[in-house]
Chain A
Amino acid sequence: MRRALAILAGIVTLALLWEGYKAVGDPEGTVLFGVRVLPRADDLSMPHLWTVLQRLGRPELAGGDPVWQVVLRACLFTLGITAAGFLAGTLVGLLLAMAMQRFRIVERGLLPYVILSQTVPLVALAPLVAGWGGTLMPAWATVAVIAAYLAFFPVAVGMLRGLQSPSASGAELMRSYAAGWWRTLVKLRFPAALPYLFPALRLAGAAAVVGAVVGEISTGTRGGIGRLIIEYSREATSDPAKVYTAMLGAALLGLVVAGAVSLLEVPLMRHRRHVEVVTL
């Protein structure tokens, strides 16, 4: 109940900030020494919230489906891609973390490249992956690859830290029970890593959404919310509220993915301590 109220309060605050700035802000934006430090507050740049909500109910094009249906369909399409990318990325991340935990030399050899992988600009990578579409895999799968590429990183790094988190005495105890690497992993390292895994999964979920949206745009895949944002933003001058409906959709997508990860976490994390979120 308190959580629901807190969420509601958050939404109301955001709405007040938006409308408040619109009321007091300069319609031409505030320009200091030739730099626009605050955005334009006119209806073209910042439509009223109720205009955006109304736009959701009206047809996309004359005689077409209402915008909310189109946005929702696009969200579902992108959700599918995000889920595929998230699962693939998580699997790769887990395998990498296990390999790095098992072999010191793999950790030393691989970890710098794992970190390096995230500094490669996605836009540079996308055309290469897009080339696989239609031949190696269907077009949507190339977007999932890009989502996975972003999602595997927090899982690999967080899980490695989690697998390495048991104390030396825990490992010695398992050795005293004549447990090998695999059974030590299953009985000790994996359960011990869960408090590190879940924050990593939440980051991976967010990264997968970003990857899917950006991936759709840069590979030119149709049908998803990323593509919709691009299409609607072209109409921004004539129909400024439309692009915001697509952005609402993207935000909703992020919330759904974050919620799904949290649902996974609740039953597994009772009686457990929580550790701070680790990214590096």
Chain B
Amino acid sequence: MSAVVIDNVVKIFNQGRGDEVLALSDVDLTVGDGEFVSLIGPSGCGKSTLLRLIADLIPATTGTVTVAGKPAGQARREQAYGLAFQQAGLFEWRTVRKNVELPLELRGIGRAERRTRAEQMLALVGLADFAGHYPGQLSGGMQQRVAIARALAVQPPLLLMDEPFGALDEMTREHLQSELLSICATTGTSTVFVTHSISEAVFLSDRVVVMSARPGRITASIAVDLPSRDDAGRQSPAFFEKITEVSQALRGVPVP
């Protein structure tokens, strides 16, 4: 079964009004189980809109979105996915652990189990020692790791991320990319990852989906198979080939 199936989706904002915008036109996309898919494209190409459609934060105008075999709305109500944004969006009045516990709390999971699961997730992102801290006491990179732990807390089969590393410096970014890959590998989570960094998309993904703007649509889907996903992988010729391929696709050069 596929993690996400998007079938012939059109999204129009402010339909029937003067400021009508065709944000997405005829989008088809399938994300396989355990697959890591990046959405990349110029700003305004609708990649975040597409992510929000999968998350059922906004409804599709026409077409269907299926998550884990269920309609997107039902999948959302069953918390079948975890969500992380560019801004960590932690609740500043909760400790790090309480932040990670939030989705578990809303699922009605008991206190003791919440605590154990939150501590597991914090250990996974390497922040076990900071469970009692408040978000304001952490650096941006650490906050983002807490946000990832929070997204993973319900152990969802699908992770939706909207430029989660966009506001971080290069060093932290590369570090968190490797961490994210190992987490996804351990947990077997499928991931849809929105980014506008070509190297980030190539390094992380099994497949890079290239989009173009006005109207937002998918123009290319490039499979990536790196020899390894580590520092050696970042230096490999395959990595640079794929970067070239993706940037050509972004510029509209037909893929050979």
Residues of A within 8 A of B (CB): 167, 169-170, 172-173, 175-179, 183, 187-188, 191-192, 194, 271-273
Quick check: A176 and B76 within 8 Å, CB to CB? yes
Find chain A residues with CB under 8 A from B57 CB: 172, 175-176
Q: Is the CB of A187 within 8 A of B106?
A: yes
B89 touches A167 (CB 8 A): yes
B-chain residues with CB within 8 Å of residue A271 when the two chains form the complex: 92-93, 134, 136
User: Within 8 Å of chain A (Cβ to Cβ): is B85?
Assistant: yes
Are B83's CB and A191's CB within 8 A?
Answer: no
A273 contacts B106, C-beta separation under 8 Å: no
Query: What 8 additional pairs, Cβ within 8 angstroms, besides A176-B57, A187-B106?
Result: A172-B85, A176-B76, A178-B76, A178-B79, A178-B106, A192-B91, A272-B93, A273-B92
Cα distance, A188 to B92, chains bound together (Å): 10
Q: B221 an interface residue at 8 Å Cβ cutoff?
A: no
Fill in one digit per residue for B74-103: 1 if any A CB lies within 8 Å of its CB, else 0. Answer: 001111010101010101111000000011
Residues from chain A with Cβ under 8 Å of B106 in the complex:
177-179, 183, 187
Size range of the interface on B? 20 to 34
Name A269's closest neighbour in chain B (CB-CB): B93
- Which residues of B are found within 8 Å of A175, using beta-carbon distances? 57, 76
What is the chain A residue whose CB lies nearest that of B82?
A176
A152 to B195 alpha-carbon distance, docked (Å): 47
Please determine whether B83 and A176 come into contact, CB atoms closer than 8 angstroms: yes
Closest to B162 in A: A169
Residues of A within 8 A of B76 (CB): 175-176, 178
A273 adjacent to B136 (CB under 8 Å): yes
Given A191-B93, A271-B93, A273-B92, A177:B136 Cβ within 8 A:
no
Contact of A173 with B89 in the complex, beta carbons under 8 Å? yes
26 A–B contacts, CB within 8 A, in A order: A169-B85, A169-B87, A169-B89, A172-B57, A173-B89, A175-B57, A175-B76, A176-B57, A176-B76, A176-B81, A176-B83, A177-B102, A177-B103, A177-B107, A178-B77, A178-B78, A178-B79, A178-B106, A179-B106, A187-B105, A188-B91, A191-B91, A192-B93, A194-B93, A271-B93, A272-B93
A157 to chain B, nearest CB (A): 22
Taking a contact as CB atoms under 8 Å apart, the answer to whether A172 and B93 are in contact is no
Q: Is the interface of A mostly helix, strand, loop or mixed?
A: helix
- B5, CB-defined interface residue at 8 Å: no
- Say whether B55 faces chain A, with CB atoms less than 8 Å apart: yes
Q: Collect the chain A residues with CB atoms within 8 Å of residue B79's CB.
A: 176-178
Interface string of B187-201 (1 = CB under 8 A from A): 000000000000000
Q: How far is the CA of A191 from the CA of B102 in the complex (A)?
A: 13
Report the minimum CB–CB distance from B144 to chain A (whole Å): 13
Closest to A194 in B: B93
Contacts of B93 in A (CB 8 A): 191-192, 194, 271-272
B84 to chain A, nearest CB (A): 9
Q: In the complex, which residues 49-68 of chain B have their Cβ closer than 8 Å to any Cβ of chain A?
A: 52, 55, 57
A176-B57, A176-B76 as given contacts; A272 in contact with B83, CB under 8 Å: no
- Min CB gap B195→A, angstroms: 17
The closest CB in chain A to the CB of B106 belongs to: A177
A179 and B77 alpha carbons, distance in the complex (Å): 8
* Among all A-B residue pairs, the 4 with the closest Cβ atoms: A178-B77, A177-B106, A271-B134, A176-B83
A187 touches B102 (CB 8 A): yes
Which residues of B are found within 8 Å of A170, using beta-carbon distances? 89, 91
| Bound-complex Cα distance A183 to B108 (A) | 12
Chain B hits for A194, CB < 8 A: 93
CA distance in complex: A192, B92 (Å): 8
Q: Which of B52, B55, B77, B87 contacts A167 (CB 8 A)?
A: B87
Q: How far is the CA of A187 from the CA of B105 in the complex (A)?
A: 10
Chain A residues within an 8 Å CB radius of B134 = 271
Contact partners of B87 in chain A: CB under 8 A: 167, 169
Q: In the docked arrangement, what's the CA distance between A183 and B57, Å?
A: 17
In the complex, A6 Cα to B105 Cα: how many Å? Answer: 45
Residues of B within 8 A of A167 (CB): 87, 89
Tell me which residues across on chain B come within 8 A of A187, comparing CB atoms. Answer: 91, 102, 105-106
Chain B: minimal CB distance from A58 (Å): 52
Residue ID in chain B nearest A272 by CB atoms: B93
Give Cα A101 to B83, complex, Å: 25
Q: Separation in Å of the B20 CB from the closest CB of chain A?
A: 21
Residues of B within 8 A of A191 (CB): 91, 93-94
Q: How far is the CA of A129 from the CA of B104 in the complex (A)?
A: 50
